[in-house]
A and B are shown apart, each in its own frame.
Chain A
Amino acid sequence: MNDAAGKGDVLLHMHGLRIEGRSDEIWHEIVHGIDVTLRRGEVLGLIGESGAGKSTIGLAAMGFARDGCRISGGSIMFDDVDLAKASDDSLRQLRGSRIAYVAQSAAAAFNPAHKLIDQYCEAPVQHGIMPRAEAESDAIDLYGRLQLPEPESIGFRYPHQVSGGQLQRAMTAMAMACRPDLIIFDEPTTALDVTTQIEVLSAIRDIVRQFNTAAIYITHDLAVVSQMADRIMVLRHGNLIEEGDTRGMIEDPQKEYTRDLLAVRTFRKETVDEPNGETPLLRMQNVSASYGKSPVLFDVSMDIHRKRTVAVVGESGSGKSTAARVITGLLPPSEGQVFYDGQPLAPNHRKRSKDEKRRLQMIYQMPDTAINPRQRVRSIIGRPLEFYLGMRGADRDARVRQLLEMIELDPDEFIDRYPGELSGGQKQRICIARALAAEPELIICDEVTSALDQLVAEEILKLLQRLQDELGLAYMFITHDLATVRAVADEIVVMLQGEVVEQGLKADVLSPPHHEYTELLLSSVPEMDPDWLDNLLGERLEQSA
């Protein structure tokens, strides 16, 4: 509401902020005395891998600590009010009206039982800022500014009736409802496709500029934050590593860790030539498939040769995971066939032989749900050994240890752990070990790195690459992240709405001339250049004009 106040006044000043978290009945400090200063209209980027404490600090800016956490020291001055000491009542006054929060998963943050506009109006009406009718017209105005389609009517839909990117923008609109002084964005685009991400990023940036709102932008993606923030703080394990203005930080990072973050995805696989004429390990031939009545795959064909990586790229809903389900036999195709080593595979996985199943393994996107939380690592990795190879007792244990060494985890430390005692990256390594245990020839990797931090993801990619070199595996690599594709692929298949739009060797697909959709995908990958978003939007505007 303070449009009159120009840039420059300090809006939020956190001094010596310490936060403790509770585990095993003991309080551990997770944020070790951080100073944050935020001026009006400034966008501050908080960046770091998971566990760095960036979300915790973001929430602390609202005077809020998660369940099992507490603010144990320091002050949080928001416009002369110390939020660390303020009463619940006064905090309630501030939250929603002067400080707002945009969560990572808009789908989970919206109440599915109410229409978007009802949820929009709740805060302004509750805080007595404007009457319902005014709030509604204001909502329509904001929806328009955020470039949502049909701003007059979209608010009258339920959350499940709009797409993920639109929902994230609706959430931003909701945060703007009371024209707060400060908005906290907690990884707002992490769950979105690259193409959708662009829209959300530009919408958020425009609206923040229009209303001169200060914002804290939390993300683990340095390329994204460099588009959004004026200033960046790099965090690690609850400590400040480096702070500086965006351009300076990107061009001349001072600390080793920041350089590591910047250098992510520089890893490249050596290019391999055309596959020779041998029978492909896996061949999909004119496959079409549908869920019930609605068709999702149209005439898809691809070959995967031994010791090669085929990356399947596309945004969500493009049918790339469905293709994997057809190959594994979870979804029998309506037309076409899948051949393995020249032999046709039964459409339904129940009809396939044990050996066929063994040779084709799968690694999933979410390591949290891909391994049974009630089994120890020993059983998770040991089961395929027992099941496919008939190993028991000491033999099996020895092999499990060997596999753990292969995935670079210390056997003595990890063999008796439960998945709950592992980090995301370690869980994904366990999933890889489970797939390796079967001694497969082809592994389908379904978005294996998208739930992980960039540094961790890079290590997983390197591990997969090393395993391919050592064991001669073939990968089918499903992803929406072109940086991953650049790193690991030999061949690329680009999919759009259930069809293959382009396929070929990496060098051919990635170098011009592109198919127009490939071009769109390629150009949507954020780059570590603060001007990238502006330039890109400018270019696209020119083209459409």
Chain B
Amino acid sequence: MSIPLTSNTFGGKASPWVSRIAMAAVHFFILVLFLQNVAVDTWGSVIGLLFAHLYSVVALTYWNRIDRSAAGDTVIVTVTLEFVLISVIFWERASAWPWSTLFGLGLVQICAFAAVRYWKDLRQAPGSAWFGLIVILIYVMVAATAPIIAPFGETEIVGSEYDVWSNKHLLGTDNLGRDMFTRLIYGGRNTVGIAFMTTLLAFIIGGLAGILAAAMRGWVDQVLGRVVDILMAIPSFIFALLILTIVGTSIPSLIMVIAVLDATRVFRLARAVSMNVVVLEYVEAASLRGEGLWWLIRSEILPNILPPLVAEFGLRFCFVFLFLSGLSFLGLGIQPPTADWGSMVRDNATLITYGDITPLLPAGAIALLTIGVNFVVDWFLQKASGLKD
């Protein structure tokens, strides 16, 4: 479970100097990024500075804990410095959106650290998994740095309606004269972000409840099971419409409602697979040892049911996506003027009659991400099931 502190599988030597210089550069960069904005937004800058310190500490600690070689160091340092360099070149935009820049930097570094740490596994990953990983990485990167990349504002009207593709508007404009390319980028941030949050929440609620039901049995299982049965007995779309009409269509309520509805499916899966694990002797041994419920769930059951849950995560993510788009179509999803891929298809659907494929781009973006996520999930599943043998 724990990462070995001293061993070095790559055979190279840890180089504290490289790490310190890189970290100092990053620290300095973030300081400037936020100090630029002191006059405009004092509180944001102060929090940003605190964050910069915390970030450096965490990054340095992790740096000293992972196995890595000189090559690994180079990957991490190069990627980091490249990002800093790009930010400096586009300083105007980067400094206008310090939080996005910082998130971008964080992501780049996390990816570099993860790539070094899991290089052995990554090297053996099939092409489809690499494709999926790269697609996801691009989506996440774009989502995090949306304001920096996007040429215009999310809701800004910049031209006439339905402009054709041009140098100024790469993908033309939409039904209100907003830049399509910009909307696509922001749409990714909104739709992917909300779908991801929702799925995650659904898994936390449903997964925990499912394992709990399997581990405790008896009346806990009965109560949870019946509650889920009741929720599942009502058609979920109609149920969602009903609740959203009552509580209103804010984004938090949207996430909560879909998460709870989807958690019922996760609950059933988690309970079913946990049931198989709970009866095994190592769980019995742990409970005879006197371990508490939380240990049983976290250490004995959860790691062993993770593969099916992860597979389900990929599928659920796609369903949530569709669910969100469906709600948007009915006007109860993400509300305009916020960009959202689902409603972008609908808003510009008239263009299809003129043989213009622009409205299909958001749909294509959804499809591509769905495929990418499932490729990665497949790979993970294959790897995880191999461990058992």
Residue B238 CB within 8 A of the other chain: no
Contacting pair A374 B285 (CB below 8 A): no
The prevalent SS among residues of B at the interface is helix
Whether A206 is near chain B, meaning CB under 8 Å from some CB there, is no
Check A375–B1 contact: CB distance below 8 A: yes
Determine whether B388 belongs to the interface, using a CB cutoff of 8 Å to chain A.
yes
Interface residues of A in 329-386 (CB under 8 A from B): 329-330, 349, 352, 354, 357, 362, 364, 366, 369-376, 378-379, 383-384
Q: Are B281 and A420 in contact (CB under 8 A)?
A: no
B147 to chain A, nearest CB (A): 41
List residues 232-259 of chain A with CB under 8 A from any CB of chain B. none
B387 touching A373 by the CB < 8 A rule? yes
Chain B residues with Cβ below 8 Å from A416 are 4
Decide if B299 is an interface residue (CB 8 Å cutoff): yes
List A contacts of B124 (CB < 8 A).
Answer: 25
- CB of A532 closer than 8 Å to a CB of B: no
Which residues on the B side are within 8 Å of A418 (C-beta)?
Answer: 387
Q: How far is the CA of A384 from the CA of B288 in the complex (A)?
A: 11
Contacts known (A364-B281, A420-B389); A372 close to B290, Cβ less than 8 A = no
Asked if B235 is at the interface (CB within 8 A of a chain A CB), the reply is no
Instruction: Tell me if B303 counts as interface (CB < 8 A to partner A).
Output: yes
Q: Is A27 an interface residue (CB 8 A)?
A: no
B 286-299 binary contact with A (CB < 8 Å = 1; else 0): 11111100000001
Judged by a CB distance under 8 angstroms, whether B304 is at the interface is yes
B304 proximity list for chain A (CB < 8 A): 372-374
Check if B41 is an interface residue, CB within 8 A of chain A. no
Q: What residues on B are CB-neighbors of A374 within 8 Å? A: 303-304, 387
Q: How far is the CA of A378 from the CA of B389 in the complex (A)?
A: 20
Check: A291 CB closer than 8 A to any chain B CB. no
CB-CB < 8 A to B2: which residues of A?
378
A366 and B387 contact, Cβ closer than 8 Å, known pairs A349-B288, A357-B289: no
Q: Does A156 contact B (CB under 8 A)?
A: no
Proximity bits, B366-389, A CB within 8 Å = 1, else 0: 000000000000000000000111
Could you tell me if B387 and A370 are in contact, using CB atoms closer than 8 angstroms? no
B280 interfacial by beta-carbon distance below 8 Å: yes
Establish whether residues A387 and B288, one from each chain, have CB atoms under 8 Å apart when the complex forms: no
Whether B284 is near chain A, meaning CB under 8 Å from some CB there, is: yes
Query: What residues of B have a CB within 8 angstroms of the CB of A434 in the complex?
Result: 285
B280 CB, min distance to chain A CBs, angstroms: 5
Chain A residue contacts of B285, Cβ below 8 A: 362, 364, 370, 434
B43 at the A/B interface (Cβ < 8 Å)?
no
Q: Complex Cα distance A111/B2, Å? A: 43
Q: Which of A375-433 contact B (CB under 8 A)?
A: 375-376, 378-379, 383-384, 387-388, 416, 418, 420
Q: What's the nearest-Cβ distance from chain A to residue B33, in Å?
A: 38
> In whole Å, how far is B121's beta carbon from the nearest beta carbon of chain A?
13
Contacts of B51 on A, CB cut-off 8 Å?
A: none
> In the complex, what residue of chain A is closest to B387 when comparing beta carbons?
A420
Is A213 in contact with chain B by the CB < 8 A criterion? Answer: no
Q: Which residues of A contact B300 (CB under 8 A)?
A: 372
Cα distance A418–B303 when bound, in Å?
13
Query: Are B281 and A369 in contact, CB atoms less than 8 angstroms apart?
Result: yes
Of chain B, the residue at the smallest CB distance from A364 is B281
Q: Does B282 reach chain A (CB closer than 8 Å)?
A: yes
- Chain A, Cβ-Cβ closest to B303: A374
Partner of B288, one of A330, A371, A388: A330
B282, B303, B389: the one within 8 Å of A371 (CB): B282
Asked if residues A372 and B282 are in contact (CB atoms below 8 Å), the reply is: yes
The CA of A362 and the CA of B285, in the complex, are separated in Å by: 8
Quick one: which of B280, B287, B290 contacts A369, CB cutoff 8 A? B280
| Nearest A residue (CB) for B386 | A420
Chain A residues whose C-beta falls within 8 Å of the C-beta of B282 in the assembled complex? 369-372
Residues of A near B299 (CB, < 8 A) are 372, 375
| Chain A positions within 8 Å of B281 at CB level | 364, 366, 369-370
Give complex CA distance A383, B287 in Å. 13
Contact (Cβ within 8 A) B280 A357: no
Give complex CA distance A328, B286 in Å. Answer: 12
Nearest to B4 among chain A residues (CB) is A416
Give the docked Cα–Cα distance between A364 and B280 (Å).
11
What distance in Å separates the Cβ of B301 from its nearest Cβ neighbour in chain A? Answer: 9
Nearest chain B CB to A450 CB, angstrom units: 14
Q: How far is the CA of A387 from the CA of B287 in the complex (A)?
A: 12
Chain B residues positioned under 8 Å from A354 (CB to CB): 290
**Chain A residue nearest in CB terms to B304:** A374
A308 to B122, CA, bound (A): 53
Report how far A364 CA is from B284 CA in the complex, Å.
10
B284 touches A387 (CB 8 A): no
A534: min CB distance to chain B, Å: 40
List A contacts of B280 (CB < 8 A): 369
The verdict on A362 contacting B387 (CB below 8 Å), with A369-B282, A372-B303, A372-B304 known, is: no
Q: For window 135-194 of chain A, which residues contact chain B by CB distance below 8 Å?
A: none
Contact A328 B288, beta carbon cutoff 8 Å? yes
Most buried by A among B284, B285, B287: B285
A375 cross-chain contacts in B, Cβ below 8 A: 1, 299, 303
- Complex interface: chain B residues within 8 A of A420 (CB): 387-389
16 more A-B contacts (CB under 8 A) besides A369-B281, A370-B282, A420-B387?
A328-B288, A349-B290, A352-B290, A354-B290, A357-B290, A364-B285, A369-B280, A372-B282, A372-B299, A372-B303, A373-B388, A374-B304, A387-B289, A387-B291, A388-B289, A420-B389
| Between-chain CB contacts (< 8 Å), 18 pairs | A25-B124, A328-B288, A330-B284, A330-B288, A349-B287, A357-B289, A362-B288, A364-B281, A366-B281, A372-B303, A372-B304, A374-B303, A375-B1, A375-B303, A379-B1, A387-B290, A418-B387, A420-B388
B residues neighboring A (CB under 8 Å):
1-2, 4, 124, 280-282, 284-291, 299-300, 303-304, 387-389
* Residue ranges of A at the interface with B (Cβ–Cβ < 8 Å): 25, 328-330, 349, 352, 354, 357, 362, 364, 366, 369-376, 378-379, 383-384, 387-388, 416, 418, 420, 434, 438
